[in-house]
């Protein structure tokens, strides 16, 4: 089992999601975001950065995060990231359609690009990764795009080319929705994602 550290931004959504026993059992420690800059993360294999973190506080620890990646660490980023702190992610904002599922013959617009990838062959389905989108990334060449929009914009991708580590980057924000008590697919996503992160072929 990989040792996982989660950054806690102090919001109610973070508290509910990351202290939920079925997810907390995969987490070795929660690090309060203002304490990250002074806290050693050397012992961990994975650093998970939740959605909707305070970017000013996060930027204070950017050197530490990149050092972690360049030691071979795994960094997970939930939710859209407008700031250019993730290597080469090339964020593109798109208008969110919250109600696509109420349309006649609803189509989410998402495509599973690599159904044979360990995350989707063993732990998740595309339906588990489908609610709404806030935008897309256009990641570095050589990244593995697992879930995309129909025009190829990345919704979930893995980057092993930008640093010596692994970046698991997604516009999906399951922790926000689960922590806010709505969007059932996000619970299914977390039910599969945490076991994969702890023991799967990242």
What distance in Å separates the CA atoms of residue 32 and residue 29, rounded to the nearest whole number?
A: 10
Report the C-alpha gap between 148 and 129 in whole angstroms: 11
CATH topology for the 4-199 domain: Rossmann fold (3.40.50)
pLDDT digits (tens, 9 = 90+) for 157-190: 999 999 999 999 999 999 999 999 988 999 999 9
CB–CB of 107/100 below 8 Å? yes
56-61: long-range contacts, CB 8 A cutoff, minimum separation 24 = 57/33, 58/7, 58/33, 58/85, 59/83, 59/85, 60/36, 61/36, 61/37
Judge contact between 132 and 40, C-beta under 8 A: no
Predicted confidence at residue 94, as pLDDT, reads 79
Question: Hey, where are the domains in the chain?
Answer: 4-199
Of 37, 47, 33, 57, the closest CA to residue 3 belongs to 47
Q: Using one digit for the tens of pLDDT, what is the confidence trace for 60-78?
A: 999 999 999 999 999 999 9
Helices (H), the chain: 12-19, 21-24, 33-36, 55-59, 62-70, 118, 174-179, 184-199
- 140's CB contacts (< 8 A; 6+ apart) are 87, 88, 159, 161, 162
Stretch 15-25: mean pLDDT: 98
* Burial of 5 (C-beta count, 10 Å sphere; 0-12/13-18/19+): buried
Compute the distance between CA of residue 16 and CA of residue 30 in angstroms, rounded to an integer: 13
Asked if the model's pLDDT at residue 43 lies above 80, the reply is yes
Cα distances (Å, whole numbers) of residue 61 to 2, 85, 88, 136: 22, 11, 18, 25
Rounded Cα distance, 58 and 10, in Å:
13
pLDDT tens per residue, range 76-129? 999 999 888 999 999 998 776 665 555 667 576 899 999 999 999 999 999 999
- pLDDT for 99 equals 54
On whether the CB atoms of residues 202 and 74 are closer than 8 A, the answer is yes
């Amino acid at each position: 089992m990989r040792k996982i550290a989660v950054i806690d931004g102090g919001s109610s959504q973070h508290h509910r999601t990351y202290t939920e026993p079925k997810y907390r059992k995969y987490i070795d420690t929660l690090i309060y975001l203002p304490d990250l800059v002074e806290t050693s993360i050397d012992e961990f294999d994975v650093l998970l950065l939740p959605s909707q973190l305070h970017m000013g506080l996060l930027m204070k620890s950017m050197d530490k995060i990149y050092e972690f990646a360049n030691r071979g660490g795994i960094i997970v980023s939930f939710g859209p990231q407008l700031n250019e702190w993730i290597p080469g992610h090339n964020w593109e904002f798109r208008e969110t359609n919250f109600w696509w599922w109420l349309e006649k013959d609803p189509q989410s617009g998402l495509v599973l690009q690599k159904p044979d990838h360990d995350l989707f062959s063993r732990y998740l389905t595309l339906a588990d990764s489908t609610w709404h989108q806030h935008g897309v990334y256009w990641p570095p060449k050589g990244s593995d795009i697992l879930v995309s929009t129909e025009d190829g914009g990345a919704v979930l991708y893995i980057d092993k080319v930008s640093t010596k580590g692994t970046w698991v980057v997604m516009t999906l924000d399951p922790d926000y929705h689960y922590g806010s008590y709505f969007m059932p697919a996000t619970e299914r996503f977390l039910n599969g994602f945490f076991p994969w992160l702890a023991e799967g072929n990242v």
